[in-house]
């Protein structure tokens, strides 16, 4: 009897589980597509919580966008087309690797420019210091005092 | 003398950039949809789901497209302003009820007042994605040819309305 009840309970549970999991069915159906989704979503920024990727974020919009990306993948769109879809709506900001454009040139080359400026300042400073050290011959007076001091020390 | 002023000059430059950075709002991402045709939608009216409306129905007039939801607390902030605008009748406001339950949305409008000429219901948020909505409320200014001219993210303020949106709308109407 107990075994029978347990079986009924188990069947009921699994049945309701199947109903609840309706939306998640494609996940189990196509692991390849899910892997592709996860990889692409990791390259995209969630606009609601801006320091998370679309793959990590739990925001409603991120879920909707993942669903939308999944749908496009099922329709056979390639990654570039899907990224294009998102950029058209949300701008380059969704990309963690923004394209090279006039508006993003500073973003891409800024660090390099800073390194060049830093290196330039460093070279100039080092040269100046070397010149200062080399160009300091003693005057006659100084030589005399130096010899005097050395002699005093020796005696 | 010049050498002593240099670090100070660098400091001032840095302070300037940081000050500008502090004033920018990182949650306001410029929309790529400005000066582009408003994305197509075909959605049921919130109040009458049998009637379907699209952006074509609004052609020929300058209009505001306001994305809101009954669950959105910031929408309450801008609501009195929208009511005032509706009363003035200068610029028609159409609503997009974003990812909301129809009962909740209708109750919200009944309770607080309805500033919208009509409201379409975007229950699954698909139209919201086409409009690049990522934080409700958002407001679009659309010209008579159906081109988006301006987008405001977050609750509308009297300042934005008087200084930016209404002057733009007047200009677009000419």
Assembly ipTM: 0.80
Q: For residue B22, tell me if it sits in a domain.
A: no
Q: For residue B41, tell me if it sits in a domain.
A: yes
Containing H/E element for B60? Answer: none
Domain count, chain B: 1
What is the distance between the alpha carbons of residues A85 and A143, in angstroms, rounded to a whole number? Answer: 80
What is the distance between the alpha carbons of residues B95 and B85, in angstroms, rounded to a whole number? Answer: 13
**For a pLDDT cut of 70, what percent of chain A falls above it?**
78
What is the distance between the alpha carbons of residues A65 and A144, in angstroms, rounded to a whole number? Answer: 85
Q: For residue B12, tell me if it sits in a domain.
A: no
Asked if the C-beta of A109 comes within 8 angstroms of chain B's C-beta atoms, the answer is no
pLDDT tens figures, A85-118? 999 999 888 898 888 888 788 888 999 999 999 9
Which residue, A52, A36, A32, is CA-closest to A44? A52
The enclosing domain of B101 has a CATH number of: 3.40.30.10
Which residue range(s) make up the domain with B68? Answer: 34-173
Q: For residue B116, tell me if it sits in a domain.
A: yes
Q: What is the mean pLDDT of chain B?
A: 93
Determine the distance in angstroms separating the CA of A93 from the nearest CA of chain B, rounded to an integer: 7
Strand ranges (E), chain B: 42-44, 52-54, 63-68, 93-98, 119-122, 138-142, 148-153
Asked if the C-beta of B154 comes within 8 angstroms of chain A's C-beta atoms, the answer is no
Q: For residue B1, tell me if it sits in a domain.
A: no
Q: Do A48 and B134 touch (CB under 8 A)?
A: yes
pLDDT tens figures, B76-111? 999 999 999 999 999 999 999 999 999 999 999 999
Q: For residue B19, tell me if it sits in a domain.
A: no
Determine the distance in angstroms separating the CA of A143 from the nearest CA of chain B, rounded to an integer: 32
Interface mutation target, options A61, A71, A121, chain B, most CBs of B under 10 Å: A61
| Secondary structure (DSSP) of A10-40 | HHHHHHHHHHHGGGGHHHHH-HHHHHHHHHH
B30 vs A contacts (CB less than 8 Å): 91, 93
């Amino acid at each position: 009897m107990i075994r029978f009840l347990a079986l009924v309970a188990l069947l009921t549970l699994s049945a309701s589980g199947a109903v609840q999991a309706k939306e998640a069915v494609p996940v189990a159906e196509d692991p390849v597509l899910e892997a592709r989704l996860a990889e692409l979503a990791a390259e995209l920024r969630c606009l609601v919580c801006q320091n998370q990727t679309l793959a990590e974020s739990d925001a409603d919009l991120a879920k909707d966008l993942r669903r939308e990306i999944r749908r496009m993948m099922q329709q056979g769109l390639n990654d570039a087309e899907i990224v294009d879809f998102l950029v058209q709506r949300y701008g380059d900001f969704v990309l963690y690797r923004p394209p090279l454009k006039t508006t993003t040139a500073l973003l891409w080359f800024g660090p390099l420019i800073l390194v060049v400026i830093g290196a330039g300042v460093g070279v100039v400073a080092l040269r100046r210091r070397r010149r200062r050290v080399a160009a300091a011959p003693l005057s006659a007076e100084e030589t005399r005092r130096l010899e005097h001091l050395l002699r005093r020390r020796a005696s | 003398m010049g050498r002593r002023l240099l670090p100070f000059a660098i400091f001032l430059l840095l302070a300037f950039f940081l000050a500008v950075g502090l004033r920018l709002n990182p949650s306001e991402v410029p929309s790529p949809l400005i000066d582009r045709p408003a994305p197509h939608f075909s959605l049921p009216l919130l109040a009458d789901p049998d009637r379907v409306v699209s952006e074509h129905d609004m052609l020929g007039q300058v209009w505001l497209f306001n994305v809101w939801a009954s669950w959105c607390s910031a929408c309450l902030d801008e609501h009195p302003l929208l009511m005032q605008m509706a009363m003035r009748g200068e610029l028609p406001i159409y609503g997009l009820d974003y990812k909301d339950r129809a009962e909740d949305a209708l109750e919200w409008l009944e309770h607080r007042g309805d500033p919208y000429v009509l409201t379409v219901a975007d229950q699954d948020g698909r139209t919201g994605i086409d409009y690049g909505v990522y934080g409700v409320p958002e407001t679009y200014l659309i010209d008579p040819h159906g081109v988006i001219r301006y987008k405001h993210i977050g609750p509308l303020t009297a300042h934005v309305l008087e200084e930016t949106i209404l002057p733009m709308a007047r200009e677009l109407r000419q």
